[in-house]
Every structure is written in structure tokens, then in C-alpha cells.
Amino acid sequence: MEGLNFESAMARLEEIVEQLESGELSLESSLAIFEEGVRLSLYCQQELEKTDGKVQRLLRKLNGEFALEDMEA
Amino acid sequence: MQEYITVSMLNAYISRLFDQDEFLQEFWLKGELSGFRFYKQSGHSYFSLKDKDATINCVMFKSRMHTVNFQPEDGMEVLLRGYVSVYARQGKYQVYVEEMIPYGTGSLFLYLEKLKARLAEQGYFDAARKREIPRIVNRIGVVTSQDGAALQDILRVIRQRHPGAQVIVAHSSVQGSEAPRELAAGVRMLNEHGLAEVIIMARGGGSLEDLMAFNSEQVVQAVYTSKIPVISAVGHEVDVTFCDLVADLRAATPTQAAQFAVPDYTAVQKHRDELTLRMNRCMQRLLANRLERLDRCLMRKVWTQPQGVAKKQADRLTSCQQRLGAAMLEKVKNDRHRFALTAQGLDNMSPLKVLARGYAIATVEGAVVRRIDEVSEGDLLNIEMIDGRLTAVIEGKEKIERWKG
């Protein structure tokens, strides 16, 4: 799923549902995009649960590197 | 002998110190004008700026004078933007003035209007270049004071709408002379760090002076060059700072900025679930109808009684044969019948039949005589009978009217 971000995954999922509901596709192509849809749906679910809800302060250390310091907000 | 340095070495060193100090590179300075002198030949102006405790020398070169849209007089309170450098030959440091405006709210508006016009003309506020805020955001950068109420409002909204979101705070003072530099640095740092998908510049309400930092060219420049879309929420709803104008999206309050930045995740979750449901249901319907078509097809007799097919063909075959047979019989019968008729017809016509009935046929040299005028008296005549031939000589002939032909 490289190069895929949440937004494009959702957009593609919407497209697939429209195509399936149009009913114009052959059985084979319906099955193919259905399979893609299932993968996308799973990916989106993981993305929704993935990010950890932290609040951090971005600092630049003396050596110029970045540091993220947890903030008790 | 004591180790020593020369005057120029000392002055050069001091000058380098001044040039390396970041703060001295640009700042806003307020003070009272005194000793203002404008030199016509060079076009430069020299004056000093003082407050009740101290004074400092200033120079404004000709090239910068065009930015002064008022007549400077001693005793005026002014606000000037400039930097400090050392004039090595005399070992004196002075302020090199880039811009000067009269100080006091009146002049501030004037100054802001002028700056706004210039920035607008340079395209900083063009609507066309404003970018869309991504629909799905998981990492939000915030440039504000870490102790301010604005940050609290933002965090509260984000936690509510998207508990999983990650917030990266670039702390910066939001007023005072350090604010412009820190705000600009905050935006650049977030850009360099690159993790944030959107940046919120936020500050609570305040007076015009309090918000001045968000009008500074440094902040406008930093937001303008930010690769990450910026949402700006500075001051009360009624206040509009240049930061708001250059940002990709202006929010009336920090709370609204957070709402713009982060989608309501429960809604996104619901949308995803709904799409998945529709997809599954649609697939099931599709498969069901294909199966049904298959069943309907299989139910047909041709499958349930396969021998039926053969039988049907066999039936067709036998019926063809029967019809063939019947047709042949019919044909034969007809032919026989026709044959009999023609034979009959022929038979009737047959001379033998005629002779059998007692008639005779008169012929001359083989040709049948039909009319009496075909012969004349004395001619030799053959008379064909059923059982033989007579020969005779014509002695007389007589026309008789037998038949009204």
C-alpha cells in the first residue's frame, strides 16, 4: 500500500462503491475492484486507529537536530 | 613586552560581533527624534533617537528615504525599523534605518495601510495561491504561546474531534519585539521538521499593538513560503492581521481554526463504515443475481431429463421418416394413378382397340386415308383389319355429310 495516503484511499473507495452500484461491470471486474475495496477499507480503518494522540513541543537542539518533548497539556 | 592588538583590529572585532548578533539584524525601535538633519547633496539623513534615559545615533540613507511619508521633526515620537552596525573607522556604532513612521495609533494605521498595500501588490494575499486544507489530517502543527488560552482551545477541540491526532507545538511569544522573529521561526521549523500536515497560527484577542507581530513582514514571509497549508486565527473575530490575509485559510477563533484543521473523526469513521457496508451489500446482490440466473438456466428440462433431448431428436427423426414414407406412398399412388389414366387414355386411342371394335383403317402406301378426296377411282387401297389386311381397288366414291365438325 505504498504511496497511498488516507485521503486517496477514501476517495478510491468511494469510486469503487459508485462503480459497483452502477451495475455495468462484468462479474470478473466487479470481483477485482471489490477485492481492492476490501483492502482499502481495512487500510483506512487501521489509519483511523493508528495515530497516537500526543501533544508535543518541537524544539531544535543545539546541534540543530529536532526534538519532540511531551507536553502535559 | 605585553602582547597587544591594534585599534583597527579591535574595531574590526567589535564590528564582527555586532554583525553576527541575530537580534541586531532587524528590530523595531521607538524613540523621540532629535538633531534631525537632511543633507541635500548626499540625500542621507542623520539624527539621534532618544528616550528619557538614553540616546543613539541613526542614519537613513537616500535609498530608504522614499519610505518616509511624513516630515520628520525634532521631538516627534517615531517608530523605525533598522539594524545596528559599527562604523569601524570611528569605532562608533549606529542604527541604520530601513523604515520610519510616526509613532501613535494614528500613524500605526497609516503604516499598516501602506504595508498592506505593498504586500498585496507583491501578491502575498492572492486568493489563487491559497491551498485547500487536506480533508483528512492526523498531525497538526501549532505556532502559538504554549501557555496561552489559544492553545488550550485548540487542544480541546482536537481531542474532541480526533482523539488520535498528534499535535506538534512550536512555542513562540505572540507579542513584543521578539514575537515576529519567533513566530516566523516557528513556521519555518515546522516546515523543516515536515511532519505536520497543517499549521495553525493562533493568538487570543488583544489591542492593535498586541497583534502587531502578526502584521510583521517576517511572519507574512514565513507563512507565504510555508509548504504546509496554514490556518490563521489571530485576535478577535473582528481583527484581521496580515497573517490572516496571507494564510491559506482564516478562522475567526482558535477553536474554529482547530475545527477547520481536523475533520470530525467520528463522521469520517461513519463514512468509511457506510461505504464498506454499501460495497458488501452491492457485491452480495451482484453474486446473488448471477447465481439465480444460473439456477434458472439449470432448471430447464434439458438438464433435468437429458435423455429428453435425445428423445426429442429421435422423435423428430421418426416423424420425418414417417412423413417421408407417407409422401413416397402418396407419390407412388399418384404416379400409378396417373400412369393408369394415361395408359387408359392411350389404350382408348390405340388402333387395336378401334379395330377390335370392328373398324378398319384405309391406307395408301402406309399413309392413313382420312378424306375421300385424298384418293380417286382406280387407286389401290390397303384396308387394315384386326386380323389382317385387305387390298382393294376404288370403283366409286361419294361425299356424305356425317358430322357438323
CB contact at 8 A, B137 and B198: yes
pLDDT of amino acid A51: 60
Q: Which residues of B touch A22 (CB under 8 A)?
A: none
The one-letter code for the residue type at B244 is D
**A57 beta partners:** A69, B169
Distance in angstroms (rounded) separating the CA atoms of residues A58 and B193: 9
Between CA B123 and CA B132 the distance in angstroms is 18
List chain B domain ranges.
7-103, 130-263, 302-346, 354-393
Q: Where are the alpha helices (DSSP H) in B2-148?
A: 7-20, 62-65, 105-121
Any A CB within 8 A of B147 CB: no
CA of B226 to nearest chain A CA: how many angstroms apart?
17
Map residue A70 onto helix, strand or coil: strand
Cβ-nearest to A52 among B164, B168, B272: B164
Contact assignment for A68 to B168 by CB distance below 8 Å: yes
Answer whether B279 sits within 8 Å of A16, measured CB to CB.
yes
Per-residue pLDDT at A1 exceeds 70: no
Instruction: Tell me whether residues B169 and A53 touch, CB distance under 8 A.
Output: no
Among all residues of chain A, which has the CA nearest to that of B156?
A: A73
Judged against a pLDDT cut of 60, whether residue A42 lies above it is answered with: yes
Residue ranges per structural domain of chain A: 6-70
Rg, Å, chain B Cα set: 63
Handedness of CA A5, A8, A11, A17 (dihedral sign): negative
**What pLDDT, on the 0 to 100 scale, is given for residue B208?**
82
Contact A5, A51 (CB under 8 A): no
SS3 B274: helix
* Mutation site, B283, B285, B294, interface A, largest A CB count within 10 A: B283
Residue type, B317: L
Structural fold of domain B130-263: Rossmann fold (3.40.50)
Q: Running along chain B, 405 residues long, what does each successive block of 10 average in pLDDT?
A: 89 90 91 92 93 94 79 84 89 91 72 87 93 88 94 93 91 87 95 94 88 91 96 90 95 95 87 92 88 82 70 80 82 80 73 79 86 88 89 90 73
CB–CB contact B282 A10 (8 Å): no
φ, ψ of residue B132 to 5 degrees: the values are -75, 145
Three cell numbers written together for B134: 487536506
**Each residue of A50-71: pLDDT tens digit?**
666 789 999 988 888 899 998 8
- Asked if B160 has any chain A CB less than 8 Å from its own CB, the reply is no
Cβ <8 Å between A17 and B275: yes
Q: Is B263 part of the contact surface with chain A (CB cutoff 8 Å)?
A: no
Where do the DSSP E strands lie in B332-394? 361-364, 367-368, 380-385, 388-393
Sequence-distant (≥ 6) Cβ neighbours of residue B163 within 8 angstroms: A53, B265
CA B88 to chain centre: 63
Whether chain A has a CB inside 8 Å of the CB on B289: the answer is no
192-231 in chain B: CB under 8 A from chain A: 192-193
Q: Is A54 close to B286, i.e. CB distance below 8 A?
A: no
> What is the chain B residue with the closest CA to A65?
B193
Residue-wise burial string across B259-272, b where 16 or more C-beta atoms lie within 10 A, e elsewhere: bbbbbebeebeeeb
User: With an 8 Å Cβ cutoff, are A48 and B139 in contact?
Assistant: no
Contacts of B141 in chain A (CB under 8 A): 58
Please report the pLDDT score of residue B399 as a whole number: 87
- For B376, the enclosing helix (H) or strand (E) is none
Calculate ∠ Cα B102-B107-B109, nearest 5°: 150
Q: Which residues pair with B390 in a beta bridge?
A: B383
User: Cβ–Cβ of B166/A21 closer than 8 Å?
Assistant: no
User: According to the model, what pLDDT value does residue A24 have?
Assistant: 86
Of B105, B31, B120, B114, the residue nearest B66 (C-alpha): B114
Provide the residue count of chain A.
73
Q: In terms of CA atoms, which chain A residue is nearest residue B149? A: A73
Query: Which residue in chain A is spatially nearest to B169 when comparing CA positions?
Result: A57
What would the pLDDT profile of B102-147 be if each residue is shown by its tens digit?
777 666 777 788 889 999 999 999 999 999 998 888 899 999 999 9
Burial B9-36 (b: 16+ CB within 10 A, else e): eebeeebeeeeeeeebebbbbebbbeeb
CA B124 to chain centre: 28
User: Among partner residues A7, A20, A55, which is closest to B134 by beta-carbon distance?
Assistant: A7
Inter-chain residue contact B146 with A57, CB threshold 8 Å: yes
Interface of A with B (CB under 8 A): 5-7, 10, 13-14, 16-17, 20-21, 23, 27, 30-31, 34, 37-38, 41, 44-45, 47-58, 60, 66, 68, 71, 73
Q: State which fold the B7-103 domain adopts.
A: OB fold (Dihydrolipoamide Acetyltransferase, E2P) (2.40.50)
**B167 vs A54: CB contact, 8 Å cut-off?**
yes
Q: B126 — phi, psi (to 5°)?
A: -60, 130
